[in-house]
Every structure is written in structure tokens, then in C-alpha cells.
Structure 1
């Protein structure tokens, strides 16, 4: 499936009949699933938008209520605070309320001012409104230079 993200020069390996893709953040080859294809495209999209590679963390563990979860991607500000939480879905997953609620719930552990959920085709960018304590949809990726 064609994604709504810029192409990048990806490196693939085949081992024991399975395809792996190089994750430049984790510096290793990871098993290529549809969600991973989206995540790798989104990582390169962030890098093209001047998000520093050293401030991006992949599959960070966190606790939500009593459950242990992993967040797909967190971009941190230069002062080390979460700036953008990204939840990646496979391209065939519809962007619906359940997906949005999951992303917002995961962000309770991080308190990032911005969140995004993407299936590689559709991207929903959110900004946390501290006055209303709700998320507002925004039209584009937050500019990293504004991350203080």
C-alpha cells in the first residue's frame, strides 16, 4: 500500500524467510510488519522536518493504569521533556475514536503537548489544551524548533 509519507532509502534484509528493515534509531534490523513500515516512514519524515535523531525514542515502555504498554515513538524537546507522542498503526487500520482514545490515554503517562496517530495514509495531529484539558486537532506536524 502506498503511504502518504515521503519515501526514504530503506535497507532490508531477508533472514530465515522473513524480511527485516533497518531502524536507524535503534541501530538494528527489526522484523518488518505493516505497522513497522509506517513507523520507519514516520521516523524519516520527522528527521526531514528537523527533529533530532538523538531525541527520538522507539517503543518506550510505560504503564497505563495497571497495564504495561509500549509507545511507538516519542520525540523529546532539547530539555528532555516529551514533545510529541506518535502512535503508528498498520495502513489498513481505520483512524477512529478508539485509536484516538488509545493515543490520548498513552499520552497521560508522558504529558507531551502534542500527539499524533498515523496509519501512514491518514495522520491526525493533536495539541493538548491545558485550559480545557482536551485535545484539539491541528492541521500539521508541530514544528520542532518550538520545542523548548
Structure 2
């Protein structure tokens, strides 16, 4: 079980005009603090601090085309060759991680072909290594 709440102290949160905002260090802007954005920013801190990924290899809400429709994936991490490597789907803590969430990631991955998929609502997370050749996946304890 990954503990993303240990990264709360790294988040920058402010209140302005009676609204709460959170700073996104990847996009370098303040965003309205929504539950899903809170989880996304915890995940960003995990990727930067725990896993040591370079911030220049992380894309947030990256646009992709799926069956001709414009979609956005929450977090996309690129490898050293700048190829899509990890796709992360974030949900608000009250949203359960279901087959529908996994299906959403799988549809996105038909375009991206990443070897690792992750979905998290901040309290629960699932990580899978995709074996495209054998059309199967293996659940992992942590990201590479």
C-alpha cells in the first residue's frame, strides 16, 4: 500500500477570495483545489520525490486522440528516450477504483502503448505492467 499522504507537506496550498488553490509544479500554475487535483498533486510529489523522475518528463492532462475524440490523460511519464512510459489516472478519494477506471486507462493506452498503468484515488492504488505480446498484465506493488 503506497502512502501518498506523506507528501502533503510538499504541496503548496493557498486561499484567495475565499477559494482554495493548489500549485502544480509541472504546469507552473495555481489551480482550484478540487479532490481529484489534490490526488494528482500528491502523485506528482510522489513521482518527483520518491521515484526521482525528472519534472521535464512528466506531462499533466496531456491531450490525446482516442477514436477521433479529444481526451486528456491525468499524468503521463516519459522514459529517457521521451517515449510514453507510465500512464496514471487519478480519481477523487470518494471515487472507487473500478473496472470502468481501468477500461478508461486501457482505451487511452491503445494510443500510447505504455508498459505501466496506474490508477489511484489517493487511498487505494493499482499498478499494472502490461505485456502487449501476451495480452495480459501483472499487478505490481510500486512503480519502477
For normalisation by structure 1, the TM-score amounts to 0.88
Q: 1:75 aligns with which of 66, 74, 77?
A: 77
In structure 2, the partner of 1:28 is: 29
Structure 1, residues 79-99: CA drift from partner, whole Å, max 9, x if none? 110110100000011111111
* Between 19-28 and 62-71, the greater mean CA deviation after superposition: 62-71
Per the alignment, residue 9 of structure 1 pairs with 10
Match of 2:125 among 123, 126, 131: 123
Q: Which has the higher helix share?
A: 2
Deviations 1:52-104 (A, max 9, x none): 11110100001111321100000101111011010000001111111111111
Q: How does 1:72-111 map to 2 (within 5 A)?
A: 72-111=74-113
Whether 1:114 aligns to 2:116 is yes
Structure 2: unaligned runs, 5 residues or longer: none
Among 24, 38, 57, the residue aligned to 2:59? 57
Q: In 1, distance between residues paired with 2:23 and 2:141? A: 30
> Counterpart of 1:116 in 2: which secondary structure?
strand
Could you list the runs of 5+ residues in structure 1 that have no partner in the other structure? 143-148
Instruction: Report the RMSD for the aligned CA atoms in angstroms.
Output: 1.4
- Native 8 Å contact 2:21 2:33 kept in 1: yes
Match of 1:145 in 2: none
Post-superposition, which runs of at least 4 consecutive aligned residues in structure 1 deviate over 6 A?
none
TM-score, normalised to structure 2, is 0.91
- Matched position secondary structure for 1:50: coil
